[in-house]
Amino acid sequence: MGILPPFYTARYVEIHSSTLSCLWLLGGAGVVLWTLLVSLLGHHSYVERHAPTVDVAFWQDASVDGTWWPQLTTPSEYCGMSFAARYGGDMTWGSHSINCTRPEDELSQVFYASSNEVKVALSIAEGSNPQYNTSQVSLYEGMEKSSLTFEVSFSTVRETVSHVPFCQAFGVATSEFPEGVPIPSRYEDLVPDAIYGPGYLTLSVEDVVRAAGRALEDEGSEKAPLRLAGLEIVARVEVRNYVPYRWPLSAWNPLGLRRAEDLECSVRFRVLRDQFTPIQWFYEGKAPVALQHGLRLAVVGTGSVGYFSLAQLATQILLSFTAFGLAQTCLDYGWYYVHRQSTTIATRAFDRLDLQRPKVD
């Protein structure tokens, strides 16, 4: 059949039907505009995307009342709580009256920070077998009011960013907040002079647990209060830019819209394990003498960081016109098979040439 018969048939239909011709032009323009506006500008297909390697540093900061350790005027209601767990044999862990101790009175640490992980002690058990058989158990009073500061950084093959400002923490999703309930940072309240720099994320220990959908008063899977046993939480830190339908032009932004190239950082929390969580062992020689339980917060980094690319821009523009050309070819063949006079049109439009050599007798 070849290409020319469908081509001439389609041109005949377009010439003799202005309505169909206009419809085709509008359809073709729609294909190109859709590719340019939605795919290219809306979804920012002109950028080269990279997966960042995210790193989070933690440190202890002031408590929610602005002092380094929370100043409590009355004893906390959980002081004197009762809990006992029985293990094999005659081993019992816990007491009928678990007292509180102030963390500032302890000679040991209660915060243990490292790259992409922080551990916060909430209780301490002492004795020769502090994990399974002891009644010398104490709670660190007011630890839930202490705060943690997050410093998010990342690197790609193109750049390294030492601090991503204004990370937003989210809690459990609700019908009103399908992306999660926003949890405001305490940084501006606790560090009014912003001595570390702009936009750090500061949350109290209580905020972190609440963002994961739990409370320290809840019971874990071993029937122990989380305030006593501790838990493990995973923080999913996502760094990205060129989010769909952000303003694509950084040099011209008359409405002051949020630019697509600006980095966005979000932190979401999920409980990984709600059993007894050892934080730190203490030894005298080789013999254990104490064990802290508490919160272990680990970080998982993810995201997508894009950079403007002329090669990607040219590719997307070529794809848009290729889509138009492909649609044109499909329409030509459609008219050829549908139009009842397509063979006559093709016969009158051109004469076939026989390029084969004549046979010589």
Q: Which CATH number is 165's domain given? A: 2.60.490
Residue 133 lies in a domain: yes
Residue 22: pLDDT band with limits 50, 70, 90? confident
Strands (E), 28-146: 47-50, 53-61, 81-86, 92-101, 111-114, 117-126, 136-140
Looking at the structure, do residues 243 and 315 belong to the same domain, yes or no?
no
The stretches of the chain forming alpha helices (DSSP H) are 4-16, 18-33, 187-190, 205-211, 226-229, 310-338, 342-349
Domain count, the chain: 2
Residues 190-216: tens digit of each pLDDT: 988 888 899 999 999 999 999 999 999
Which of 51 and 34 is assigned the larger pLDDT?
51
In the predicted model, what is the mean pLDDT of residues 134-140? 95
pLDDT of residue 1: 47
DSSP structure class, residue 358: P
Which of 167 and 1 is assigned the larger pLDDT?
167
pLDDT(349) > 70? no
Which of 322 and 295 is assigned the larger pLDDT?
295
pLDDT of residue 41: 78
* Structural domain for 85, as ranges: 52-306
Q: What is the mean pLDDT of the chain?
A: 87
Residue 360 lies in a domain: no
Could you give the count of Cα atoms lying within 13 Å of 349 in the half-sphere of its Cβ? 16
Looking at the structure, do residues 28 and 133 belong to the same domain, yes or no?
no
Looking at the structure, do residues 152 and 202 belong to the same domain, yes or no?
yes
Lowest mean pLDDT among 29-38, 48-57, 239-248, 303-312: 29-38
Looking at the structure, do residues 120 and 176 belong to the same domain, yes or no?
yes
In the predicted model, what is the mean pLDDT of residues 291-301? 97
Residue 359 lies in a domain: no
In the predicted model, what is the mean pLDDT of residues 316-333? 75
pLDDT cut 70: percent of the chain above it = 84
pLDDT of residue 242: 94
Which of 275 and 45 is assigned the larger pLDDT?
275
Residues 66-111: tens digit of each pLDDT: 999 998 888 899 999 999 998 877 899 999 999 999 999 888 899 9
pLDDT of residue 342: 63
Looking at the structure, do residues 58 and 18 belong to the same domain, yes or no?
no
Looking at the structure, do residues 11 and 123 belong to the same domain, yes or no?
no
Longest dimension (CA), the chain: 120
Provide the token pair at 289.
């003498």
pLDDT of residue 347: 66
Looking at the structure, do residues 145 and 217 belong to the same domain, yes or no?
yes
**How many angstroms separate the Cα of 329 from the Cα of each of 175, 320, 332?**
48, 15, 5
Looking at the structure, do residues 174 and 158 belong to the same domain, yes or no?
yes
pLDDT(58) > 60? yes
Residues 66-75: tens digit of each pLDDT: 999 998 888 8
Looking at the structure, do residues 33 and 157 belong to the same domain, yes or no?
no
Residue 357 lies in a domain: no
Cβ density class 130-153: b for 16+ within 10 Å, e for less: bbbbbeebbbbbbbbbbbbbbbbb
Contact predicate 328/9, CB 8 Å: no
Name the pTM for this structure: 0.82
Looking at the structure, do residues 272 and 337 belong to the same domain, yes or no?
no
Please list the residues that pair with 294 across neighbouring strands. 121, 230
